[in-house]
């Protein structure tokens, strides 16, 4: 199928969109900004340039000035950044313990978060991750555990108990925690 050419626009305003002349007042104020006293000669002072070339040249120079200004501001901001402290990201342990304490307080903003629960279930036997002061709260949380998470927690506690019994060492704090979890969930 052959393409049809559009007829040329008969509206004189549409035809001369590209050839619009810039307002002379704005150019004068922009030139004062671009060329402070004692600066380089304005491209509009060059008699060999057409008005269109002058506008293009002015735009380019204006763009360069803006770029230099942004760079200067960026450098000033970079110099101030080391003095300001950036807030440190919270560790997963802190986030999970806050989640657990929020549950214990029955806060309105508390909602179930699988990643936090998973972290607690994986690290519940490690004293350095879940301190003794929070372990009793964790046991209360585990009472409401349902489904596959409950079954896997029981299996994990049983496996840990068997492993620690086989090693024959004195009962460790980890073994005591596993025993408490088994008593609660079995």
Q: Is the pTM of this model over 0.85?
A: no
pLDDT tens, 110-147?
899 999 999 999 999 998 999 999 999 999 999 999 99
C-alpha distances (whole Å) from 64 to each of 29, 61, 69, 139, 162 are 17, 5, 9, 65, 73
pLDDT of residue 85: 60
pLDDT of residue 4: 67
Widest CA span in the chain:
99
Length of the chain (residues): 186
Structure tokens at 35: 């060329």
The one-character DSSP state at 39 is S
Please tell me the number of Cα atoms within 13 Å of 89 on its side-chain side: 2
Torsion 71-75-80-83 (CA) sign:
positive
In angstroms, the CA 77 to CA 119 distance is 39
The one-character DSSP state at 164 is H
Q: What is the mean pLDDT of the chain?
A: 80
Question: How many Å separate Cα 177 from the centre of its chain?
Answer: 38
pLDDT of residue 121: 94
Q: What share of the chain is helix, strand, coil (3-state, %, to 5)?
A: 65, 0, 35
Angle at 69 between CA 64 and CA 70, to 5 degrees: 100
Does 78 have pLDDT greater than 70?
yes
Does 186 have pLDDT greater than 70?
yes
Does 6 have pLDDT greater than 70?
no
So where are the chain's domains? 22-71, 92-185
pLDDT tens, 146-167?
999 999 999 999 999 898 888 8
């Amino acid at each position: 199928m052959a393409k049809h050419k559009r007829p040329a626009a008969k509206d004189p305003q549409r035809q001369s969109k590209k050839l619009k002349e810039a307002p002379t007042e704005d150019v004068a104020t922009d030139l004062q900004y671009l060329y402070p006293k004692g600066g380089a000669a304005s491209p509009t002072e060059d008699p060999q340039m057409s008005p269109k070339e002058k506008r293009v040249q002015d735009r380019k120079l204006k763009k360069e000035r803006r770029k230099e200004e942004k760079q200067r501001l960026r450098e000033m901001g970079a110099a101030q950044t080391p003095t300001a402290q950036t807030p440190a990201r919270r560790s997963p342990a802190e986030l999970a313990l806050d989640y657990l304490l929020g549950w214990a307080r029955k806060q309105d903003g508390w909602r179930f978060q699988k990643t936090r629960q998973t972290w607690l279930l994986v690290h519940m036997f490690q004293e350095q991750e879940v301190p003794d002061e929070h372990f009793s709260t964790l046991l209360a949380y585990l009472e409401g555990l349902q489904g596959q998470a409950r079954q896997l927690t029981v299996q994990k506690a049983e496996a840990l108990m068997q492993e620690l019994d086989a090693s024959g060492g004195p009962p460790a704090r980890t073994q005591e925690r596993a025993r408490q979890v088994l008593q609660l969930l079995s």
